[in-house]
Every structure is written in structure tokens, then in C-alpha cells.
Amino acid sequence: MWADCVNRGGPGSQRCHNSGMTEHSTQSQADLLPPDARIFVAGHRGLVGSAVQRRLTADGYQVLTRTRDQLDLRDAAATAAYLRAERPDAVVLAAAKVGGILANSSYPVQFLEDNLRIQLSVVAGAHQADVRRLLLLGSSCIYPRLSPQPIPESALLTGPLEPTNEAYAIAKIAGIVQVQSYRRQYGASYVSAMPTNLYGPGDNFDPLGSHVLPALIRRFHEAARDGLPEVLLWGSGSPRREFLHVDDLASACELLLRRYDDDVPVNVGCGADLTIRELAGIVAEVTGFTGEIGYDRSKPDGTPRKLLDVSRLTALGWRPRIPLAEGVAATYRWWLEHSADHPARDSVRR
Ligand code: NDP
């Protein structure tokens, strides 16, 4: 019954894929990927895509990749032709135009249109090429600004979004609905995942475009190196945030490809948060900064708390494995090895 539902197209399959999935079928132990599956990882040079590639390769899958120069995923015809020629068993969509607050608020057109175009090309192209499994990566920014904490998947489309990244979030929400629509209309076994803040090897340390954790690593490293007495951070230090090592995300992606087949996008996080003040303490210790940490309370704090409810994912048996302090230390070592002494390569990519 389960395997039948997964791959059969047409209106008859609607019964299997709408929200009427039973708890039992959602958590089926049937493996939805053959052990020798060929998997196209779109965006394999990014933070997420590179981790997914490492994980899938280590577990014996054959990973297919294309650089942006070889295949611009905004080009629907070229993407469809590539997927028809390769006919992978599965696709992981980790290619996206991604950036921090500054980039999002400066270039909303590109954040909306590039992401819509990439999703349209890859999801429609995969369906045309009879790709059986697809995992689309979204983001926790799809949830309303004032969501209940921890944020359940059911919070989607229940309130206004954070205005600074609305264009990006709307594009990602369109991707979720696109995946759900392929499930409903064609019985496609496509799913989506919503990760929390990620960090790890391959992260972007560019001062203008980086997320909070690599930005802190860089600032504390430079302060320790230059013997500065104080690092001054924006806000009060009291907002709470959640961080997940990207290798833990990659293991969740593999699990979802193998075991999850439902309409509902799945939150991926570690299930625990900490204050920015606590995070700064960890980064200071890792980087060897022994000065004062000050807080500029005239600057905005942002949302007081942002934590995902990950009970849907943990019900599948997944647990994160990399403690934050350990992951931050490993990421710091990676950055030192790859770019710290080469400013021109701040956002070095694999
Ligand atoms: P990165 O910017 O690190 O990587 C994005 C990748 O997409 C790059 O390899 C880039 O190629 C590729 N890409 C972008 N545009 C195109 C295009 N037109 N054609 C082909 N390839 C393209 O992003 P992340 O790995 O951080 O993010 C991946 C996904 O994970 C996104 O959907 C994001 O929303 C999600 N996510 C990320 C979080 C994070 O904290 N980083 C948190 C939550 C979700 P190139 O190398 O050539 O630039």
C-alpha cells in the first residue's frame, strides 16, 4: 500500500498524499531510496549542499552535481534537459539565492525572482524527468514574525512575515506549496524541510553578508588577534536563537529522503536555543578572546525568541549529534585553515 501510494501519479493518488496520512504511514520504516540511488544535489558548493553531498557520498549514494557555470538553475529548459538526460532517482534542492538582512533588504527582487525561478525549474524539471524523490530546502524565515514558540509547522501562513526578508520568505513559501501541489495533483513523492540557523564548514564569513555565528567568530578572532580590550555587540544579548551544525542537517535530509513522505514541511533544528550572550561566551572561548563583551542597547534586538518545534522530525528517530561548542570550534578551525589569513577569500567555497 505504501510503496503504491508513493509513486503512482494521477488524481487517484490524492488520497494517499493529502493530510490524511496516518501516523503509522508518516513514520513508515520502508526505505524510499534504493541503496545505490543516484541523487542530484543542486547547490553542492554551498553550505548546505556541500554537507549533503558529503553525507550521501559517505553513505554510498552516487551524487550528481553541476556548478552554476555548467547549469544555471534559473534556466528551466536547460535544467529540464539535464534532468531528463541524467534521470536521477532523487533531487535535493539546496541551491538558492541566500543572504543576510542587508542583502535581503537591498535586493528583494533577486531574492524573490531567482528563488522562484530555481524552484520552478528544478521541481517541474524533476517531475518531467520522472524523478521519484525530491527534497526542497526552505527556511525557518517562512514562519510569521510572531509565531508561538517553539514554532510548529502548523504556524505557516498564520500571520505577517518579518518585513526585512519577506520577498525571500514568499519565494520559499511558494516552493513549499509547489511541492505540495505536485503531491496532490500528480502523487509525486516530493517533500520539503525547514532548517533553523545553520553553521559549519563552508559558511560565509564575509562581514557584509554573513549570518550571526560566522560574524561573531570573525569579530572575536580579529579582536583576540589584535589584543582589543572589548568587543561591542548589537542589542542587549538577550534574544534567544537556535543553531544546528550543517552535518546534522545533512543527516536529517538523508533520513527525510529515505523515510518521510507527507505534505507537511518538516522543521529541522536541534530543539534547544540559547541567548546571544551565551553564544558570544562560547565563541570568545573558542577563539581565545579574553577581553570584555559589551552590548549596545541602542541597537535593535530583533525577535526575542526563535526556536523550532522539531517533534515531527524526532518522531522519525533523528537526533542531532554535534554539540554547539564542539561544532563552533570545528568551524573556527575550518575557517582558519581556509581563509582567515587571506582576506580576499573571506567567503571561500569548496
Ligand atoms: P549558499 O549560499 O551557501 O549556497 C547556495 C548554493 O546555490 C551555491 O552553491 C550557489 O552556487 C547555488 N546557486 C545559487 N543560485 C544558483 C543558480 N542560479 N544556478 C545554480 N546554482 C545556484 O546557501 P546555503 O547552503 O546556506 O542554503 C541552501 C538552502 O538552505 C537555501 O534554500 C536556504 O534557504 C536553506 N537554509 C539555509 C540556512 C543557513 O543558515 N545557511 C538556514 C535555513 C535554511 P555558487 O556556489 O555558484 O554561488
Residue 340's pLDDT is: 52
Beta bridge partners of 268: 195
Give me ligand 1 centre to Cα 202, in Å.
11
Q: What is the tens place of the pLDDT at every residue in 76-121?
A: 999 999 999 999 999 999 999 998 878 888 999 999 999 999 999 9
Does ligand 1 come within 6 angstroms of the Cβ of 73?
yes
Question: What is the percentage of the chain residues whose pLDDT exceeds 70?
Answer: 89
**Cα 137 to ligand 1 centre (Å):** 9
What is the Cα–Cα distance from 158 to 143, expressed in whole angstroms?
8
Residue 185 sits at φ, ψ, to 5 deg, of -80, -40
Domains of the chain: 2-199+244-268 (3.40.50.720)
Nearest atom (ligand 1) to Cα of 199 = 40
Band the pLDDT of 160: cuts 50, 70, 90.
very high
Catalytic-role residue among 61, 143, 168, 182: 168
Nearest C-alpha to atom 42 of ligand 1 is from which residue?
197
Yes or no: say if 281 and 201 are a contact pair by the CB < 8 Å rule: no
CA 272 to ligand 1 center in whole angstroms: 24
Q: Is 47 in the pocket of ligand 1 (CB under 6 A)?
A: yes
Which of 47, 63, 113 most suits a substitution to test ligand 1, by most atoms within 8 Å of the C-beta? Answer: 47
In sequence order, which residues have a C-beta less than 8 Å from that of residue 146 and are 6 or more positions away? 159, 160
Work out the average pLDDT over 205-216.
Answer: 87
- pTM of the predicted protein model: 0.90
| 199 given a catalytic annotation | no
Q: State yes or no: pLDDT of 240 exceeds 80.
A: yes
Q: What is the pLDDT of residue 29?
A: 64
Ligand 1 atom closest to 141 (CA): 43
Closest-CA residue, ligand 1 atom 26, reads: 47
Largest CA distance in the chain: 68
- Interval 169-180 mean pLDDT: 98
How big is the chain, counted in residues?
Answer: 350
Helix (H) or strand (E) holding 135: strand 133-137
- Determine whether the shortest distance from the Cβ of 197 to ligand 1 is under 6 A: yes
Peptide bond into 34 cis (omega under 30): no
- Cβ atoms 211, 218 nearer than 8 A: no
**Stretch 209-230: mean pLDDT, rounded?**
94
pLDDT in tens, 246-266: 999 999 999 999 999 999 999
